[in-house]
Structure 1
Amino acid sequence: MQFSTSRLALAALLALATVGAQAADWSDTSIGYRYGSKFAEPFGENTIHKSIIDLNHVSGYSYGTNFFNADFLVSDKSDPSSPGSSNGATEVYIVYRHTLDLSKVSGSKLSWGVIRNLGLTAGFDVNVKDDAGYNSRKRMLVAGPTMMFDVPGFLNVSLLELWESNAPYNEFTRSGVSRYSYDAHPMLTAAWSIPLIKGVPLTFEGFANFIAGKGKNEFGGETAPETNIDAQIMYDAGTLMGAPGKFKVGFEYQYWKNKFGNSYKGAAGDGAFAKTPMIRAEYHF
């Protein structure tokens, strides 16, 4: 791993510590692992094997909720760390969201019909990847309104504006571009965790992002709208050991069309259209 990745991992831990330092009314933290053999990367392969370790934290306090996730991704040689290398690329991807609960802030009940509550969400995405080609250094701020639906578990839908930039630098060719800002663009996003069968510890979980095109990329090409749906069916195996909520296993599927805004019908090819089944396990503490 390059030093920049180590610094980003340290920043992730500091951010999580900051979140945890707040006076939380409730919280859930987990370490997870998932694996699949059909990951894809634009301009590359669509049969990449990846192992992903994640650190996840969600908590609620007097005026809202925090969500934090850090993924550490390790590819096989189909997504090499350098040209011709048998070592796979590595990546750290971090997401943070804060949702302000407007009912709690205003002291008024903001619910009607299927809408349980309203909120305002803001946060960021940041990543670093060391690979043979693009070497992403993404930075993105997000903000917008959130609707919370009245369902078992939760279903939140947000309309967020995205301010994204990147500064890829290929350390093998010693070439790159200065940090480049895409056009501000909207994203309709949903996140959910819903029980499937009463009395059976199965949940349907995941997120869906529908992202508009972001203008021209840093090389002058047009970007495409992208769809990223990641859904899981998880079984609470902790119930078998008298520790419900502690250990979950399940299956996950990711559908990612026009990955990172690269059209799969153009030069990015099939690598810009991922259809990835995975196995997943989580330990909660």
Structure 2
Amino acid sequence: MNRYIGVLAAVLATLATSPAHAFDWSDTSIGWSYGPDYHEPSLTDHNGNAQDIGKNTITFTHIDGYTYGTNFFNVDMLLSNSADPANNSNSGATEFYAIYRHNLSMNAVTGSQAFALGPLKDLTLDAGFILGSKNNAFASRKRAIVVGPNLVFNVPGHFDVALLYYKENNNNGIAGTEVNFRSTWSIESAWGIPFHIGSLPASMEGFLDVVGPKGKDGFNADTKTEVLFRPKLMFDIGALAGHKNLVRVGFGWEYWINKYGTDHRSVKGALQSTPFVTADIHF
């Protein structure tokens, strides 16, 4: 699995950085968010209920576009409070979660508008990977690859829906085993729709990720379809001082059912629902 990720990363890096693919535009940001009610599967409080966990998240995001497509790279550092402890510690756990996607535009490749049909603006071929790790007792080390078509809709801002092949392996530190999940499907959707509240620029943003059942987990339990939904409302407060798209603040909601594929009907903490506040600075 790691070999496949390495090969895919090399191919995508070559596409993105060759001289013919000089960036036409780019956006880089650092963000922060906080939510009070995150959950983790099997982590419960003294009453046997899912343990509420406060998490601060520091995010680095880079997006760029070139003649034939776009690159998206995002790294989250999630800092739990002591309700979600690091292994052999009373301090909160730290998790790193990185996502890379390359979108290859079929309109650009063909030099036409053949894929601008009806409500669609374009069709892209998406490929990328996910890398994650956490220093709690479970000690996850997620490695996943995705590839498939992405529908780009003709709306103000952006709205995409991708239908992807998904393959993951991971570590289960409690069971003491590496888990090679079976291949499955995934649906990824992301959106950013701008609007104004008076003179204040704002946007409805977010993503929806759905991953199909991926076989047995490290405890020999059947995995279920997991759904992660994270909408947010952002306000461009920097524009009030004449610096558009510099400083933004907002709030949102994160809902995750069957977290990591764990059946929420049988495992406490596999259903997560939390509000959050967020801010970012763009460079």
- The TM-score normalised by the length of structure 2 is 0.88
Aligned to 1:279: 277
Aligned to 2:253: 253
**Superposition deviation, residue 183 in structure 1:** 1.1
Please list, as runs of the form range in 1=range in 2, the aligned pairs for 1:235-254 lying within 5 A after superposition.
235-254=235-254
1:154 aligns with 2:158: yes
**Is the 1:28–1:59 contact (alpha carbons within 8 Å) kept by the matching residues of 2?**
yes
**Is the 2:172–2:179 contact (alpha carbons within 8 Å) kept by the matching residues of 1?**
no
Aligned to 1:5: none
Among the aligned pairs, what percent are the same residue? Answer: 39
Aligned to 2:72: 67
Deviations 1:180-217 (A, max 9, x none): 21111111110010013475411000100122111111
Q: For 2:106, which of 84, 102, 107 is the aligned residue? A: 102
What is the one-letter code of the residue matched to 1:250? G
Aligned to 1:40: 39
What is the one-letter code of the residue matched to 2:273? K
Q: More deviation in 180-189 or 97-106?
A: 180-189
Please list, as runs of the form range in 1=range in 2, the aligned pairs for 1:126-275 lying within 5 A after superposition.
126-131=131-136, 133-169=137-173, 176-177=176-177, 179-197=178-196, 200-266=200-266, 268-269=267-268, 271-275=269-273
Number of residue pairs matched by the alignment:
262
- The TM-score normalised by the length of structure 1 is 0.87
**Superposition deviation, residue 168 in structure 1:** 3.0
Aligned-partner SS, 2:141: coil
1:120 aligns with 2:119: no
Aligned-partner SS, 1:43: coil
After the TM superposition, list the runs of 4 or more consecutive aligned residues in structure 1 that deviate by more than 4 angstroms. 18-22
Aligned-partner SS, 1:213: coil
**Is the 1:46–1:274 contact (alpha carbons within 8 Å) kept by the matching residues of 2?**
no
Deviations 1:20-53 (A, max 9, x none): 8962100000000000110111111441000100
**Is the 2:200–2:240 contact (alpha carbons within 8 Å) kept by the matching residues of 1?**
no
**Superposition deviation, residue 252 in structure 1:** 1.7
Q: Distance in 2 between matches of 1:71 and 1:19?
A: 22
Unaligned runs of 5+ in 1: 1-14
- Supply the RMSD in Å over aligned alpha carbons: 2.0
Q: Distance in 2 between matches of 1:19 and 1:78?
A: 41
Aligned to 1:11: none
